[in-house]
């Protein structure tokens, strides 16, 4: 029993897939303040305004402010 061969083609504009939305979910919304970063502790992407810098393992890392649990309960701005 052979697998069905998936046929895709590159369109004139260079895109191959029609269902995939263009762009990245982590692209910056504005100049500097609109971008997201991941929390060093929980790994979730949050706006920079919801993060703080804390010294962990001898290096400054960005973590959720005030904590990961409280940040998960708050709605994103």
pLDDT at 53: 93
Question: Does 61 fall in a domain?
Answer: yes
Question: Does 49 fall in a domain?
Answer: yes
pLDDT at 76: 63
User: Mean pLDDT over all residues of the chain?
Assistant: 77
Question: Does 30 fall in a domain?
Answer: no
Domain coverage including residue 41: 36-73
Number of domains in the chain: 1
Question: Does 60 fall in a domain?
Answer: yes
Question: Does 58 fall in a domain?
Answer: yes
Q: b/e map of 9-31 (b: 16 or more CB within 10 Å)?
A: eeeeeeeeeeeeeeeeeeeeeee
Q: What DSSP string runs through 3-64?
A: PPPP-----TTS---SSSPSS-TTS-SSSSTT-EEE-TTT--EEEGGGEEEEEETTEEEEEE
Q: Per-residue pLDDT tens for 34-47?
A: 678 899 999 988 88
Q: Which residues of the chain carry a pLDDT beneath 70? A: 1-8, 16-34, 76-77
pLDDT at 61: 93
Question: Does 64 fall in a domain?
Answer: yes
């Amino acid at each position: 029993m052979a697998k069905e061969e998936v046929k895709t083609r590159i369109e004139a504009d260079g895109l191959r897939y029609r269902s995939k939305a263009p762009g990245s979910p982590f692209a910056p919304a504005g100049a500097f303040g609109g971008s997201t970063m991941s929390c060093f502790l929980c790994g979730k992407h949050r706006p920079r305004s919801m993060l703080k810098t804390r010294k962990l393992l001898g290096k400054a890392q960005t973590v959720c402010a005030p904590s990961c649990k409280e940040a998960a309960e708050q709605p994103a701005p």
